[in-house]
Amino acid sequence: MLHGIELADGKARSYKNRWVRTDQTAAALGETAIAGQVEDTIMSELAGNVANTNIVAHAGKLLALVEVNLPTEVDCNLDTVGRFDFGGRLRSSMTAHPHTDPGTGEMSFFGYEVVGPPYLRYHVVDGDGTLVHSAEITVPKPTMMHDFAITETRAIFMDLPVVFDLDLLGKRPFPAAWAPDNGARVGVMPRRGTDADVVWCDIEPCYVFHVLNAFDSGDDVVLDVCRYETMFDEDLHGVGGGPARLERWTVSPTSRKVSVDVVSELPVEFPRPDERYFAREHRFGFFSSPRMTDGSLGSASGMALAKVDLSSGGVEVHDFGPGAISGEGVFVPASADAAEGEGYVISIVADADAKRPSDLVVLDATDFTAAPLATVHLPARVPLGFHGNFVPRGALAR
């Protein structure tokens, strides 16, 4: 389900929610599937036909995403248009985390394939929405790549040891397993590169769901990640073990080595930069941060928001109080030419015991621990979700 809040002229103008009418959802609602849609990928036969992870705007279109299917287009009212394949040029899955270069408008993304080879494909869409580049990337096994990174010149893949195993279907909550013997590596190639251009650099086994940002540093690439020690190991649902911490990885394609620096031990997830600095050197990151009682995510009593200054290592935490669970914090700049980090962080905050409706909360990103600048009391409780985005007026076709 998508949830949309329209803000204009200092007011909350509307709230709406809509099911994304994928074929699977339409059937569950007793409706007829949308006619005339393009065929979905073969992955939908294994994982179902859903769109429940992220929502992104690009080239006038709004796409609801899950990493194992084609995108599902929705309109500015959140009503479902249908599956979207970039005019027939995309016939494989699309990650829920495409990344757009703010300078060029070019969007890069990948899709993994459980039933490959190839197990990984990479794509580039220009600022007008045309898919202009695709490449098959060689990885030895179907590893679960949830996110990746781009810089102004390069794309970075993380081939980490969570490996899909179709024999686990129906036996585990998720058909993937921790496989450290598979090794772990980071691949770097030009943004319009091909398989022959990828330089793989080994790293100690770990797992990363989300990348804050990445940038070029001479011949090296620097990326900031939320790193887990393991995944789908002791907790078969994934993230019920130890939390992620913020690390800076410096990847050297020349030496094929990765150096690791711990930025903060604060438990963090759902990283968001000031996206005007996406693919460029950045200073600030905004995160969700669980309040834990015994060191495991399963003991989290709520979720706060955190701001990290990567130049100083300074950390600020905005806690919404006992039992409050904040969603992903989305940064919105105060203006197009505002300084980095000058603007607002918006998040939907829910009550852990589900006894009251949710709020949309607006924080001053430059006075992060202060009381919210504004709170929108929503008419319903918004169930805990994954990702969201701010879409400026005029960015979507109507």
**% of the chain residues with pLDDT over 70:** 96
The residues, any chain, with a CB within 8 Å of residue 338's CB and separated by 6 or more, are none
pLDDT for 327: 94
In degrees and rounded to multiples of 5, residue 2 shows phi and psi of -95, 145
The residues, any chain, with a CB within 8 Å of residue 294's CB and separated by 6 or more, are none
Distance CA 187, CA 43 (A): 24
Query: Over 90: is that where the pLDDT of 241 sits?
Result: no
Query: Over 70: is that where the pLDDT of 300 sits?
Result: no
Tell me the pLDDT band of 356, cut-offs 50, 70 and 90. confident
List the one residue out of 112, 120, 185, 110 whose CA is nearest residue 150: 110
Query: Over 90: is that where the pLDDT of 368 sits?
Result: yes
Tell me the pLDDT band of 238, cut-offs 50, 70 and 90. low
pLDDT for 174: 82
* Residue 298: both structure tokens together: 């399963």
Q: Helical H runs in the chain?
A: 23-28, 43-47
What is the C-alpha radius of gyration for the chain, rounded to an integer number of angstroms? 20
The residues, any chain, with a CB within 8 Å of residue 255's CB and separated by 6 or more, are none
Tell me the pLDDT band of 254, cut-offs 50, 70 and 90. very high
Query: Over 70: is that where the pLDDT of 367 sits?
Result: yes
Query: Over 90: is that where the pLDDT of 360 sits?
Result: yes
Span 122-138, pLDDT tens digits = 999 999 999 999 999 99
pLDDT for 253: 98
Query: Over 60: is that where the pLDDT of 268 sits?
Result: yes
Query: Over 80: is that where the pLDDT of 314 sits?
Result: yes
The residue type found at 262 is V
Distance CA 104, CA 31 (A): 41
In degrees and rounded to multiples of 5, residue 272 shows phi and psi of -140, 130
Query: Over 70: is that where the pLDDT of 89 sits?
Result: yes
Distance CA 296, CA 288 (A): 15
Neighbour-count burial of 195, counting CB atoms closer than 10 A to its CB (0-12 exposed, 13-18 middle, 19+ buried): middle
Tell me the pLDDT band of 272, cut-offs 50, 70 and 90. very high
Across 261-276, average pLDDT:
96
Q: In angstroms, how far is the first alpha carbon of the chain from the final one?
A: 21
The residue type found at 80 is T
* Residue 270: both structure tokens together: 């759902």
Query: Over 90: is that where the pLDDT of 297 sits?
Result: no
User: Can you give the residue ranges of every domain in the chain?
Assistant: 16-94, 99-282
Span 315-339, pLDDT tens digits = 999 999 988 999 999 999 999 999 9
- Dihedral angle computed from the Cα positions of residues 24, 389, 359 and 79, in that order, rounded to the nearest 10 degrees: -40
pTM attached to this predicted model? 0.95
Average pLDDT, the chain: 93
